[in-house]
Structure 1
Amino acid sequence: MSLVPKAFIAPMIVACAMFMESVDANVIVTALPEMARAFGRDPVTLKIAVTSYVLGLGVFIPVCGWLADRFGARTVFRTAIGIFVAGSLLCAASTSLFTFTLARFVQGVGGAMMVPVGRIIIFRVVDRSEFVRAMNYLSLPAMLGPAAGPLLGGFITTYLHWRLIFFINIPIGILGIYLTNKHIKNTREPHPGPLDWTGFVLSAGGASLFLLGLSLVGSELASGATATEMTVLGAVMLGLYVLHARRATLPLLDLRFFRVPTFQASVLGGSLFRIGLGAVPFLLPLILQEGLGMSAFKSGLITCASAFGGMFMRTLATTTLRRFGFRTVLMYNAAFSGIAIAACGAFVPGTPTWIIWVVVLLGGFFPALQFTSLNSMTYAQIESRDVGRATSLGSVVQQISLGLGVTIGGIVLQITRSLHGHPAITWSDFWPAFLVVGLCSFASIPVTRRLAHDAGDEIARGSRGPAPAKT
């Protein structure tokens, strides 16, 4: 009999995988300028590599629950870790932006399966009496990953070589597969039912073509006509999915949840907010390195301030929501977040480092409260039996929104540089991009304003919400 309690083993195995995914999502941002030079590309062009990773995460999330039920949670989880590690090795070996983009997509696919299936494992393995304790272990990667990623990426890029960044995942992944085989049972549902393959092809293909097409606009990788054709085809496929979802009995992504007021405000309004925030991890290291001439390591030291701001706000989130309520917090905090994001565009050569650090800190402080509020309110009016399907829809929309933020920020930056006639990006090219993505946070206010004044009050007062999602 193991001396380590089950409530600790399974969550820590899953937490290691989540930490690997969380670090990897943040580790390359400080290395982007150096990677661009290695590939002989403009740094802004690397937005497609960031977008491809988010796409891999987003489009495969809806099928994770079905795969876990069909083949077993342990089988899918360790396969996901293997895919992620393989993607990491491909990233390290990439010699062109094209191969690097494909490798990042492979990593995203692995990450998409690791996190949801890991939660399924915990839901099935851990006793209900120990569930809260188990979930607390999972909160550590979410807090530590965004702080550790920029620091590791900046240090390795400055003092070693950016390719070594991707070797961090290898020992963690191998250990994760070993512990999964040893300690986790291969649980599954007896009859998961058919998967909506038509919906998967339309939604995954449409989202991929649409976002990648937008990412290629104004880049050196494809002609304007090709980028436009991809974007239009993606939009058409997404439109066809909407028609399909209205007729299907069990659609892959059930759009009817958008009729629920709190879900609509959390996912749709929250997605407008996430568009703004999704651009910051891409734009901030660029302005610090390409605009202000900082090293990758110094850039990482500043970028991680956002994560520390988020950690501090999480200690105040519950009290703030109880005092002011969801509707008020979501409206006013969206404005504060937008201002904090837009303020990053005001950095100029000679700006004191401590001022930059404080602005970036606030750029993590206010958005963390917004994320906590949005995530808490998502299921306020969702029945327990529908939480899994609602989670799939919300997760996909959120990931696509983050990718769209990177794309929009990159496009505005390219347009500004072109209007200024600069051969390379400089500090004066960034403020319109930060302004636009900051305004995206303001755009979420009309959606949340339609909420009832008492929306989510039961959750804000500390009552229990619906059961944890399985997908």
Structure 2
Amino acid sequence: MQNLDSTVVATALPSMARDLGEDPLTMGVAITSYLVALTVFIPLSGWMADRFGAKQVFMAAIATFTVASALCGMSQGLLEMVGARVLQGLGGAMMVPVGRLLLLRRVKKDELLTATTWLSMPALLGPVMGPPVGGFLTDLVSWRAVFWINLPVGVVGLLLVWRLIPTLPKSLPPPPDVPGLALVGTALACLMFTFETLGRGLVPRFVPEAVLVVGLVLGTLAVRHCLRVPNPAIDFSLLRTPSFSVTVTAGTVFRVGAGMVPFLVPLALQIGFGNSASQSGMISFATALGAFVMKPMAQFALRLAGFRNVLMWNAVAAAFSVALCAAFRPGWPVAALFATLLFGGLCRSLYFTTTNTLVYAEVPHAKLSAATSFSSTVQQLSMALGVAVAAAVLQASVTLGGRGGPAPVDFSAGFLIGAALMLLAAPLALRLPPEAGEGIVTGRRRG
């Protein structure tokens, strides 16, 4: 449900902008507000699951996400949409990491890769169906329908969780780190506000710069605070674990670049090339199809090459696929566009599967809640930054070119910046030892 929601919103964005009387680039806040809310509330998810029970929190999160989806579909203006998306982000913040926690607490280390693959396969149905479903719903019904489709999914999901998932015992964790949560959340919100408004004329001059300074100061204070208290909002001691540290740092850089692609592709196809929402959705479908096809092959690739090699060389291949998107022009055959996006989906899916598996490989069982909160927070922040950076690059390119709106060359600039960020993740993988992940993938050939 969450992945479906993310992809259909990107496809419906130009239609939403026209209906609500907003600029399509400004409407990017409908995506980033959701991602920022996810980022802000995720650090609390591990404590909530321990204190109130993972199953109970999971069900409450699904209910919140479903109600917020209905509110999104009824929004009459940008502010209403942002408020509903923030509520949706609260539900998603508890839904995704707690759902992952329910799985991690019940599998052995040698089953981790298989379990992660199985967990990811159903979630990929959302992105596979999202672009075409979002496009057809937008053209045939309304952009509001892309939110309403979450209602039956949420109801069925609640019934299935209630019936099939066992209740895990609750615990009495220490009180949450309220000062740390406040510092982390406010710092992240300030940084995202800056990315959304800098150089775009949405607020008075110097306000974005002032908010950026406040965000950096609060972020510094948050890190210092979390390093000093016994039960911090973000447990930075996890970075002493090599596999966790490398996958978080390399994965963050990679995800910022990768997060630009789902925002840029639908806009390029609709605004830059003049395609309809349904045509754009059918072409964008290639990315999710590539991701879906790659999942069963991930184990073979990791056994053959090992985690370090896969992370390094796959980052190079994924960056190349995004750089190739910079050459997209209206005259390109649809088959060529589809093939390029399909290859990119394959590469990014393999990278995400690898990092999502390795990041928990050496984490002690007692710190799984903290690790899922930390990792999920960083993942969502990087994806939110990807959307914000993509919108900022587009706006800067349009302004420098003196154009009234985005042209194909502006989208090319966005794709090239995204490719460069993804390429930076390749050398970071070299910090992993060659044998990293051997306890997860057994029987791989040693190089």
State the TM-score bracket (shorter-chain normalisation). over 0.9
Matches within 5 A, 1:287-436: 287-436=268-417
Moved more, 249-258 or 313-322: 313-322
CA distance in 1, matches of 2:39, 2:169: 23
* Alpha-carbon distance in structure 2 between the residues aligned to 1:312 and 1:83: 31
2:208 alignment counterpart: 227
Deviates more, 1:195-204 or 1:110-119: 110-119
Structure 2: stretches of 5+ with no match in the other structure? none
| Aligned-residue offset at 1:378 | 1.4
Q: Deviation of residue 195 (structure 1)?
A: 0.9
Match of 2:65 among 75, 84, 87: 84
Mapped contact 2:117–2:353 kept (Cα < 8 A): no
Shift of 1:69: 3.1
Report deviation, 1:418.
Answer: 0.8
Q: Is the 8 A contact 1:68 1:188 kept in 2?
A: no
- Shift of the alpha carbon at 1:219? 3.3
CA positional deviation for 1:384: 2.9
Structure 1: state its 5+ residue gaps: 1-19, 464-471
Root mean square deviation of aligned Cα: 2.5
Select which of 246, 249, 261 maps to 1:280.
261
CA distance in structure 2 between the aligned counterparts of 1:281 and 1:225, rounded to whole angstroms: 30
* Cα distance in 1 for residues equivalent to 2:288 and 2:383: 17
Task: Quote the residue 1:13 is aligned against.
Answer: none
Q: Which residue number in structure 2 is paired with residue 118 of structure 1?
A: 99
Once the two structures are superposed, the pairs formed by residues 28-43 of structure 1 within 5 Å of their partners are: 28-43=9-24
Deviation at 1:215, TM superposition (A): 1.3
Change in CA separation of 1:370 and 1:180 when aligned onto 2, cut-off 3 Å: closer
Check the 8 A contact 1:91/1:166 in 2, yes or no: yes
Is the 1:71–1:188 contact (alpha carbons within 8 Å) kept by the matching residues of 2? no
Distance change >3 Å, CA 136–CA 444, structure 1 → 2: closer
Map 1:225-264 → 2, pairs under 5 A: 225-264=206-245
CA distance in 1 between counterparts of 2:119 and 2:312 reads 29
Contact 2:113-2:299 at 8 Å conserved across structures = no
Q: Does 1:152 align with 2:133?
A: yes
Moved more, 109-118 or 268-277: 109-118
Residue 162 of structure 1, CA deviation: 0.5
- The amino acid that maps onto 2:318 is S
- Return the offset for 1:47: 1.9
Q: How many residues matched?
A: 443
Identify the residue that residue 428 of structure 2 maps to in structure 1. Answer: 447
CA gap of 1:378–1:175, structure 2 versus 1, over 3 A, is closer
For residues 389 and 154 of structure 2, the distance between their equivalents in structure 1, rounded to whole angstroms, comes to 33
**Residues of 2 paired with 1:280 and 1:343: CA distance?**
12
Pairing 1:55–2:36 present:
yes
The alpha-carbon distance between structure 1 residues 181 and 357, as it changes in their structure 2 partners (threshold 3 A), is: closer
Equivalent AA in structure 2 for residue 108 of structure 1: G
Q: Check conservation: 1:341, 1:434, Cα contact below 8 A.
A: yes
1:404: how far off? 0.7
Alpha-carbon distance, 1:85 to partner: 1.9
Could you say if the C-alpha distance between residues 312 and 38 of structure 1 is closer, same or farther in structure 2, counting changes exceeding 3 Å?
same
- Once the two structures are superposed, residues 241-270 of structure 1 have per-residue CA deviations (whole angstroms, 9 ceiling, x without a partner) of 111011111112111222322222101011
Q: Which amino acid aligns with 1:84?
A: F
| Distance in 2 separating the partners of 1:183 and 1:142 | 18
> Do structure 1's residue 102 and structure 2's residue 83 form an aligned pair?
yes
Identity rate, percent: 41
1:126-165 matched pairs, under 5 angstroms: 138-165=119-146
CA distance in 1, matches of 2:422, 2:337: 21
- Give, in angstroms, the shift of residue 441 of structure 1: 0.8
Question: Which residue does the alignment assign to 1:68?
Answer: 49
Partner of 2:418: 437
Structure 2 CA distance, aligned partners of 1:414 and 1:113?
33
TM score, norm. by length of structure 2: 0.92
Match status 1:167 vs 2:148 = yes
Deviation at 1:188, TM superposition (A): 4.5
Alpha carbons 1:48, 1:212 under 8 Å: kept: no
SS in 2 for 1:33: helix
Amino acid at match of 1:97: L
CA contact (8 A) 1:216 1:222 kept: yes
CA contact (8 A) 2:248 2:375 kept: yes
